[in-house]
Structure 1
Amino acid sequence: MTAAQVFTNLSAWQVIAWGLLFFTALYLAGGFGMTALTRFLQRYGIGKVLDTRPLKPDQLQREWRQSFHSILIFGLGMIVPWGFVQLGWARFAANPSAWQIAIEIWGLLIWNDVHFWINHRLLHTRWFKRFHGDHHRSVVVTPWSTYSFHPVEAMMMGNVILLPMVVHDFAFWSLASVPVFSLVLNAIGHSNYDFFPAVGPRHPLAASRRHHLHHARPAGNYGFAFAFMDRWLRSEADPLPVRPAPARSTHSAP
């Protein structure tokens, strides 16, 4: 029996239970993994921390609490794509080739950025910004900020695979890859670490720098892993001003 058949044959409660376990495991792996990676790189002088200010006293506890609520929403939300399949609104590809899966993952990666930009831009409008303030309370971001959302934001960001499912018969593993690469890229974006300081701000490897700038200056940089949406729609954030070095005294010591 294939993975797609196993998923289709699960009961609603089993889908929810597996969804909760899946997103909990993703969040813990992303948080602990990215924290360990940035500490390792910092120890060996590879890359640099973007914002050295200390965290707010209750920041981590707040991020964990809000992320727990997001995990509940993501896990419960697994019932929706499962329901699409049960109702015949969506189907999984039969016997997809490795090439098909690879192409579909690449297409979903691009769609993920488009979907994120649209929803993120909405969250910075007058009507929706009330739901995005929880996330922006983390000015100095951490890998634990990745799921730190208001429930409405979690629902907006968590529906990324629904539209693709109804317009194309994707392989099961292509769709299953979306929350995985989304979490990895989200953890990078919230790592507060510049892994490749030498690359330009539009480079894909500068994603953490772009998202750090968005938290420091929220008007702009609404994209996710790539810069193409901000570039095309002219929503790139202005760089932060360079802090002048403290002036040296011109007086000689007595």
Structure 2
Amino acid sequence: MMWIWLLPGSSLLSVLFFVFLNKQLKKKKPSFKIDEKDNLPSKKEFAFTFLNLGVFILVGALMDYAQTKGLLKIESIHTAAELNWWFLIVSIFVCLGIHDIYFYVTHRILHMPVIFQKVHSIHHRSTNPNPWTAFSFHPIEGVIQIGIVSILAFILPIPEISLIIFTLFMSLLSVYGHCGYELRAEKWKGFEVFNTALHHQQHHQFVRYNFGIYLSIWDKLFGTFSPTYNKSLKELIAKNKEA
């Protein structure tokens, strides 16, 4: 009985971590704020977040049940000697790669007019997101978002610890994208392909751009990369240097 606690637990801890971090940044690094207006969470964001934590509990319970029946492909590793460290690292990147494609595709589907109106619009009520926005969405979207963990568990014969690390990383990056502060404005040239909090903040602002989660290649490939992103990033970097 692990996933029933891990799925909601990693999500809630990620939110609380960035709530704490935002308070520190507000005091010490206010220039990191993407939108200078306040982005305090609403009562509905709290409500939908906790509703989806319940959804994550249900999905986790189903994963635990499937694991007891031997239906999951993931393999439990009991000692360090049993673990192939190279395979561990590669399998984590495989999970991230699959999720990156999955997120972009499902995100585009969620923006189809009827689905957007009935489901995804709840998440887009915030145009200036905060950590509580990350999991504030319709329960159907909650199943879609957390569903990648169970999909990977059913199809990939990887160490269980790989999926645990992926789940924790996914939760943190999901909240980072909504935190409202840009922590990685100045990146090494080779790392420009990785998305920033600004990238997802612009998605909440403009709606029809920036659908990716980890990499910008899908947005650039399919013409959904925000035309104002690079200019906004340069302005943010300049603001940080002046502060």
Same fold (TM over 0.5): yes
Identity of aligned residues (%): 20
Q: Name the CA shift for 1:157/1:151 in 2 (closer, same or farther; >3 Å).
A: same
- In the alignment, does 2:25 pair up with 1:41? yes
Alignment of 1:186-201 (within 5 A): 186-199=174-187
Q: Distance in 1 between matches of 2:110 and 2:91?
A: 28
Partners of 1:220 and 1:237 within 8 A in 2: yes
Q: Name the CA shift for 1:168/1:206 in 2 (closer, same or farther; >3 Å).
A: closer
Q: Which residue, 53, 56, 62 being the options, matches 2:44?
A: 62
Q: Name the CA shift for 1:168/1:23 in 2 (closer, same or farther; >3 Å).
A: closer
Name whichever structure is richer in helix by fraction.
2
Q: Name the structure 2 match of 1:173.
A: 161
Residue 96 of structure 1, CA deviation = 3.3
Q: Distance in 1 between matches of 2:11 and 2:150?
A: 21
* Aligned amino acid, residue 60 of structure 2: M
Unaligned runs of 5+ residues in structure 1 are: 1-9, 243-254
C-alpha offsets along residues 137-177 of structure 1, whole Å, 9 cap, x if unaligned? Answer: 11110011111010110011111033333333111111122
Q: Which residue, 61, 85, 94 being the options, matches 2:67?
A: 85
* Aligned amino acid, residue 102 of structure 2: H
Q: Distance in 1 between matches of 2:29 and 2:48?
A: 33
- The higher relative CO (CA closer than 8 Å, separation ≥ 6) is in 2
Partners of 1:47 and 1:197 within 8 A in 2: no
Q: Distance in 1 between matches of 2:161 and 2:210?
A: 30
Q: Distance in 2 between matches of 1:226 and 1:215?
A: 17
Q: TM-score, normalised by structure 2?
A: 0.81
Give SS of 2:202's match.
helix
Q: Distance in 2 between matches of 1:32 and 1:89?
A: 33
Q: Name the CA shift for 1:53/1:135 in 2 (closer, same or farther; >3 Å).
A: same
C-alpha offsets along residues 177-211 of structure 1, whole Å, 9 cap, x if unaligned? Answer: 232111100111001112233348x8256420100
Q: Which residue, 107, 110, 115 being the options, matches 1:123?
A: 110
Q: Name the structure 2 match of 1:227.
A: 216
* Bigger Rg over Cα: 1
Report the count of equivalent residues. 223
Q: Name the CA shift for 1:157/1:206 in 2 (closer, same or farther; >3 Å).
A: closer
Provide the aligned C-alpha RMSD in A: 2.5
Q: Name the structure 2 match of 1:156.
A: 144
Q: Which residue, 202, 214, 217 being the options, matches 1:213?
A: 202
Give SS of 1:147's match.
coil
Partners of 1:34 and 1:191 within 8 A in 2: yes
Q: Name the CA shift for 1:111/1:50 in 2 (closer, same or farther; >3 Å).
A: same
Partners of 1:26 and 1:183 within 8 A in 2: yes
